[in-house]
Structure 1
Amino acid sequence: MQPSRRLELQWLRAFAASEVVLCHSDLLTKHFSDFAIARSWYQPFSALGVELFFIVSGYVIAMRVGTKDTGGSFFAARVLRLLPMYWLFTSIVVAVYLVKPAWHLMGFSPDPISMAKTYLILPQQGFPILGVGWTLEHEVLFYLGVALMLATVGSGRGARLGLAWLLTGLGAIGLALGSPAGPIAGGGTLGAAFLTHVFNPFMLAFALGWLVRELEGRKPAELALQLLPLTLLLLWAAWEAPAGKLMPLWRIAAAGLVFAGFLLCRHALEKENRLGRTMVLLGEASFSIYLSHWFVLSAGGKLLGHFGMPASYDLPVRLVGVALALAVGVAFYVALEKPVDRWLRPGGRLRSFGLLPPAVTPAPAPIRKKPG
């Protein structure tokens, strides 16, 4: 294993992907069991892996953005990293619909506007054609924010801290307005959807990951100088938030604690063993797992519904189904995502043909002063 790799980040991705798959495992058991995670005590924090993915994304992007990167090359590289697999699974949904029109995933409407918004990952009020793709709409807006920073003020220390302030401000306003952290019913215009995505509590998750990376190794006085006003901003947002609308903040806080726990265990998670290799592979395959797991669980649930299984089989069915969904995601990663990603890296064929911009270069690690 390369010493420069941050293996605990792959553990985090693996944990986040597994948590999302487990929380969606109700799809497997709903036809024979009355128990549902969506109706259990865990429901308020169900699929917390989404917020964890956003925090990790903020941290990783802050770690990778270099001083020589341009806004256009950064944005193109990041979006092109998402599109191949996202388009593949979106097209599978469309193909199944064409074969069986009565089948609707998330109740999508196959009109040209919805199709265009989905394939271009544009903000929507409801779910895109591939239901889990709604999180990518927020991810792309975060990338756009980073790209605008690079294109206007560069990537210096002041610019990076300014972006942390901007993301926190957008998230705080969204929290104060009671903006929904996730898809909502109804159509709405592209402009309205864009505003609800920009002023959204999820921006706080990206801000948290970005800020943790930027403040690593800083002196206590500098930490207080940056964190105190941001904390006051969040307290204002929490005070102004409508009654019962603080759950997004608690979810991000809970995901932040998980994130911090994995970072603190960094050295322990770097050990070379079978568990470590498995978790790193799951982390690397987390995007394919996230995109494919709904198909596996939904198809498995429909199949099990014909067997009349007893409710006592709920737990073993969930465990087997989750393991199968993870394995299928890994298979897609190895067979498709990883080879395609090689084409998008420096020296890949598409770059050598001049069809893609230069790759994003990693930013140097923060310089830590020695005591004394």
Structure 2
Amino acid sequence: MTATQDVRPSRLPSLTGLRFLAALLVFINHVQHLNVFADPAVQKGYVKAVENAGQMGVSFFFILSGFVLTWVARRDDTVGQFYRRRFFKIVPNHVVAYLASLALLLAAGVPLFAPEAVANFFLVQSWMPSSDYIVYSVNGVTWSLSVEVLFYVSFPLLILLVGRLSPRRLWSWFVGLAVLSVVVPLVVAQFLPSGPKSPFAGPESWPVLWISYFFPPMRLFEFVAGMILAKIVMAGRFPRIGALPMALLTVAAYVVSIVALPPFSAYYVAAIYLVPMGLLIAALAVADDEGRRTVTGTRPMVWLGEISYAFFLIHLFILFNTHAALGGQWAGWGGYQRKALSTPLAVLFVLAVLGLCVLLSWLLYALVERPMMRHFSRPRRGGRPAGTVPTDPAALPTSPAPAGSATHPPAPTASSGV
């Protein structure tokens, strides 16, 4: 097998910084489930403004994964070393966060569900057709990690297939994937039952939502689209359009999603964000490659991007448990009595929890993620075996942190699981 390039590519600090903004979208989406604003109008307005933010953040990370893994692919790497790096990048943090969430659930005295807990630990929960595997995961956000695992397993084959595409036809393939991301869920839904109802807010039944949103193969459209965009940029075929127009297009797509479309709709979630966010990622990569400065490429943003994977893993159970603690409770599966605050106090509370999550994320990154990558992601001795496969060097700060969101729903109709 051969990768796409021999020379180590330039770093992509702007995409590293953008990772934190995507993780922040997931965070602010989950805040809505706290019902922390005592003013009903403020709470309703907040929910309306952020109801699709988590889905947008998830889609961003899936596209980014494909883009960055392709961007840093090298000829001198092996399949084994690629999997080794991915393992030590993802698993240690996941285990620590899983155990922390498990401890909080045990402290809350709630009953645990063994099949769901085991599936969550081994990151296979998104393959399970029952909604319980999302609702009762020990650390609900990691459903998207089980999707990312499919990306990593299939990447050595996918990079070979993408590498054979004619540069002149790359844009056609990208457009085709965007179209398929709309058409395939619509077609599949015609063969699925209209019940049972989804435990998450949204117009579709659970079978339709699971296949369209949580089922790992269905998210390959975003991952492969990211790969093709990376090839377009590397081939010099991306138009010289700045990142600002692409950012405005992304914001416009989000506004359309909350104004004109129902919340958490399985049909549009990938399609409406795939094109604008993919173009934004590509535009920022071009800026980085040409040495142009960007807002997300500043040192503070890059630092936040580096801890964004840890942030993603721990933010949900910290958010719910700190809110429950205001009333002297444990969060459990989200079934605690929510304490509403005045708008100024609610804003201060959310900002305080955000700061706490950043601090703990930095500790997890510094004490677990970075040491594990430094000491175990590469063999200590010997050369590389024959055969090659693309991968992302451990030292490169642009390695995509898998992120997404899901939550232990505060109520059966909560629009969680994003």
Q: Same fold (TM over 0.5)?
A: yes
Cα pair 2:34 2:320 within 8 Å, conserved: yes
Pick one of 81, 92, 96 that aligns with 2:89.
Answer: 81
For residue 115 of structure 1, what is the amino acid of its counterpart? A
| Structure 2 contact 62–223 (Cα < 8 Å) conserved | yes
Structure 1 24/175 Cα, relative in aligned 2: closer, same or farther at 3 Å? same
Deviation at 1:281, TM superposition (A): 1.0
What CA distance in whole angstroms lies between the structure 1 residues aligned with 2:187 and 2:230? Answer: 28
How far apart, in 2, do the equivalents of 1:361 and 1:308 lie? 47
Q: Is the 8 A contact 1:292 1:325 kept in 2?
A: yes
Deviation per residue, 1:42-85 (Å, 9 max, x gap): 42344522111111111111122223444444334323421111
Pairing of 1:153-164 with structure 2 (within 5 A)? 156-158=163-165
Which piece of structure 1 moves more, 160-169 or 14-23?
160-169
In the alignment, the residues of structure 2 paired with residue 293 and residue 337 of structure 1 have an alpha-carbon distance, to the nearest angstrom, of 16
1:317 maps onto 2:361 in alignment: no
Structure 1 CA distance for aligned equivalents of residues 157 and 44 of structure 2: 43
Match of 1:132 in 2: 141
- The aligned residue for residue 90 of structure 1 is 98
Q: Distance in 2 between matches of 1:320 and 1:114?
A: 31
**1:360 Cα deviation after fit:** 6.0
Aligned mates of 1:343, 1:359 — CA distance in 2:
21
Q: 2:32 aligns with which of 7, 26, 29?
A: 26
The question of whether the paired residues in 1 share the 8 Å contact of 2:73 and 2:390 is answered with: yes
1:291 aligns with 2:313: yes
Task: Tell me by how many angstroms 1:124 deviates.
Answer: 3.0
Counterparts of 1:128-207 in structure 2, within 5 Å, are: 128-149=137-158, 156-158=163-165, 171=181, 174-177=184-187, 197-200=215-218, 202-207=219-224
1:342 correspondence with 2:342: no
**Equivalent pair of 1:31/1:304 in contact (CA under 8 Å):** no
Q: Provide the residue aligned with 1:43 in structure 2.
A: 51
CA RMSD of aligned residues (A): 4.3
Partner of 2:123: 121
Give how far 1:214 is off. Answer: 0.7
Matched, 1:209 2:226: yes
- Separation in 1, partners of 2:287, 2:100: 39
Q: Aligned equivalents of 2:340 and 2:65: distance in 1?
A: 42
Match of 2:73 in 1: 65
Structure 1 range deviating more: 298-307 or 161-170: 161-170
- The one of 93, 102, 110 equivalent to 2:113 is 110
Partners of 1:142 and 1:206 within 8 A in 2: yes
Conservation of the 8 A alpha-carbon contact between 2:72 and 2:391: yes
Q: Is 1:262 aligned to 2:294, yes or no?
A: no
Listed one character per residue, the Cα deviations across residues 200-220 of structure 1 (whole Å, up to 9, x for unaligned) are 2x3232122111111125376
Size of the aligned set, in residue pairs, is: 320
Task: Compare relative contact order (CA 8 Å, sep 6+) and give the higher one, 1 or 2.
Answer: 2
Deviation of 1:334 after TM superposition, in Å, equals 1.3
Please name the residue that 1:249 is paired with. Answer: 271
Structure 2 counterpart of 1:329, which letter? S
Instruction: State the distance in 2 between where 1:157 and 1:165 align.
Output: 17
Q: CA deviation at 1:38?
A: 6.7
The residue matched to 1:40 in structure 2 has which SS?
helix
The residue type equivalent to 2:113 in the other structure is P
**Residues 121 and 203 of structure 1: CA distance in aligned 2, closer, same or farther (over 3 Å):** same
The residue matched to 1:48 in structure 2 has which SS? helix
Change (3 A) 1:289 1:4: same
Give CA-to-partner distance per residue, 1:168-211, whole Å, 9 cap, x none: 7974564333669xxx659x99xx979972442x3232122111
Instruction: State the Cα distance separating 1:250 from its structure 2 match.
Output: 1.0
Q: Return 26-35 or 82-91, whichever deviates more.
A: 26-35
TM-score by length of 1: 0.69
The equivalent of 2:13 in structure 1 is 7
Deviation at 1:16, TM superposition (A): 1.1
CA distance in 1, matches of 2:10, 2:237: 27
Distance (Å, rounded) in 1 between the aligned partners of 2:45 and 2:87: 33
Q: Is the Cα–Cα contact under 8 Å of residues 94 and 313 in structure 2 kept in the other structure?
A: yes
